[in-house]
Amino acid sequence: MARKKTVFSCTQCGFQSPKWLGKCPDCNQWNTLIEEQPVEQTNHSRALAAPGKPQKFSEITSREEDRLRCGIGELDRTLGGGVVPGSLILVGGDPGIGKSTLLLQATDQLAKQGTALYVTAEESARQVKLRGERLGVNTDNLYLLAETSLEQIKARIKELKPDFLVIDSIQTIFTSSIESAPGSVSQVRECTGQLMIQAKGDGLPTFLVGHVTKDGAIAGPRVLEHMVDTVLYFEGDPGHPYRILRAVKNRFGSTNEIGVFEMQEQGLREVSNPSELFLAERPEKSAGSVVVPSLEGSRPILVELQALVSSSSFGTPQRTAIGLDHKRVGLLVAILEKKVELSIAGQDIFLNVAGGVRLDEPAVDLGAIAALASSHLNKVVDPQTVLFGEVGLTGEVRAVSQPELRVKEASRLGFNRCVLPQSSLKNLDAPKGMQLIGVRHASEALDAIFI
């Protein structure tokens, strides 16, 4: 008998090799190549678009895609205004964070606009029914299908002709044209490709639930994220009830928008005013606590930065940052040591963003420096003051984007002082009752905030 040919596929990037390699030459990851059967060449009956002649770019007529509202405002915001017909949306997150709960709630709302098919490949229909009753799902246009075979799923789609489709999850779906196990690189890539052709050909909005690895990335090859139109990540601390839905990729909207949810017994409840939620338990007269207005897409959010600077009992001081880039924190500590002349480099430093939020923009630099200095000097920052600004290596405070939105949000929540870059004061009108203090250097900001 002829020996079957095998290939070795990288679980990180999808690279294929005829022999095993310890290191993937494409993504430079070690021990990621696994043995699989090669994908058989299949002749798909439908293409993404009808064949035609090349057209001039100036002659192509453009129009705004009609979006379908999910009925969940935070999800619509993250998607850029709603679901685009024919789009393929990948939702990832840690186990138990609420992916299936959110999609079941969204499908219940979408089923009021048309027929929805929820394919559950990990649970039985009865288990999904029990969760749906707890979430208050009650619609006649929602159909459940407990199936793992892609061929059977496509046959049921052809019979039912749904307006919306949910696959939970893509790692458990398999096609009989490939002999490898479900969840392998070949299976995930082939199943996603066929579902993409189905979605584009029929204009069927499709949601895919994706498992994540221990590093937090979508399981399977990176090509999976390139095939879909939108990638949404669920973030959240297991110790907090708050969940943040962040768009990592979106062909039909901004990738900076986020949606904020709170996990309750009845499911995920959208939080329309996250600033009040994150500041609800803030200690107002404690050293090391600072409020920073961060901008997530078009939404300003006020969050609390907490710092703790203490004497180190080890030869190498500890550096712990939760919700912030630890390398950025090390840079700010060096600026405080060299340019502000605060001797904290040899001490243990802990920095935390309260509420489980992750901040990536440089506008929180000034707030982080103020929190570290407050804890080190044991001085309380004025509880009615907010700070924002990027801090350079020489200690200068640089302007950031959209300062008017940050100041307006702080004024709405009752803050009366704002320390911001001097260059951001141009063409900026202070709201009623708000004092704007422009600073050029980090040392000037520290002189203005302590009470």
End-to-end alpha-carbon separation of the chain, Å?
A: 85
Q: Which residues fall in the annotated binding site for ATP?
A: 93-100
What backbone phi and psi angles, to 5 degrees, belong to 98? 125, 20
Mean pLDDT of 170-186: 85
- pLDDT at residue 347 greater than cutoff 80: yes
Residue 106 has pLDDT above 80, yes or no: yes
pLDDT interval class at 149 (50, 70, 90):
very high
pLDDT digits (tens, 9 = 90+) for 253-274: 888 788 889 888 888 998 888 8
pLDDT over 80 at 201, yes or no: yes
Residue 222 has pLDDT above 50, yes or no: yes
pLDDT exceeds 90 at position 441: yes
CB 383, CB 370: distance < 8 Å: no
- Judged by average pLDDT, the poorest of 140-154, 157-171, 345-359, 410-424 is 345-359
For 389-405, the pLDDT digits (tens) are 999 999 999 999 999 99
Q: What is the pTM of this model?
A: 0.77
Does residue 451 carry a pLDDT above 70?
no
Residues that constitute the known binding site: 93-100
Considering the chain, what percentage of its residues have pLDDT values greater than 90?
51
Per the CB < 8 A criterion, the answer to whether 399 and 424 are in contact is: yes
Q: Are 172 and 122 in contact (CB under 8 A)?
A: yes
Round to whole Å and give the CA distance between 415 and 290: 12
Average pLDDT value for the chain: 87
Cis bond before residue 169 (omega within 30° of 0)? yes
Task: Pick the more confident residue, 229 or 240.
Answer: 229
Euclidean distance between CA atoms 442 and 338, whole angstroms: 12
Give the pairing of strands 258-264 and 289-296. Answer: unpaired
- Taking the C-alpha atoms of residue 432 and residue 301, their distance in angstroms, rounded to an integer, is 20
Predicted pLDDT of residue 45? 46
In sign, the C-alpha dihedral spanning 242, 246, 252, 256 is positive
SS (H, E, C) the chain: CCCCCCEEEECCCCCEECCCCCECCCCCCECCEEEECCCCCCCCCCCCCCCCCCCCHHHCCCCCCCCECCCCHHHHHHHCCCECCCCEEEEEECCCCCHHHHHHHHHHHHCCCCCEEEEECCCCHHHHHHHHHHHCCCCCCEEEECCCEHHHHHHHHHHHCCCEEEEECHHHCECCCCCCCCCCHHHHHHHHHHHHHHHHHHCCCEEEEECECCCCCECCCCHHHHHCCEEEEEECCCCCCEEEEEEEEECCCCCCCEEEEEEECCEEEECCCHHHHHCCCCCCCCCCEEEEEEEECCEEEEEEEEEEEECCCCCCCCEEEECCCHHHHHHHHHHHHHCCCCCCCCCEEEEEECCCCCCCCHHHHHHHHHHHHHHHHCCCECCCEEECCEECCCCEEECCCCHHHHHHHHHHCCCCEEEEEHHHHCCCCCCCCCEEEEECEHHHHHHHHEC
Place of tokens 């850029």: 80
Contact between residue 81 and residue 108 where contact means Cβ atoms under 8 Å apart: no
CB 117 within 8 A of CB 160: yes
Nearest residue to 276 via CA among 409, 431, 385: 409
pLDDT-based confidence at residue 38 (cuts at 50, 70, 90):
low
Q: What is the pLDDT of residue 315?
A: 80
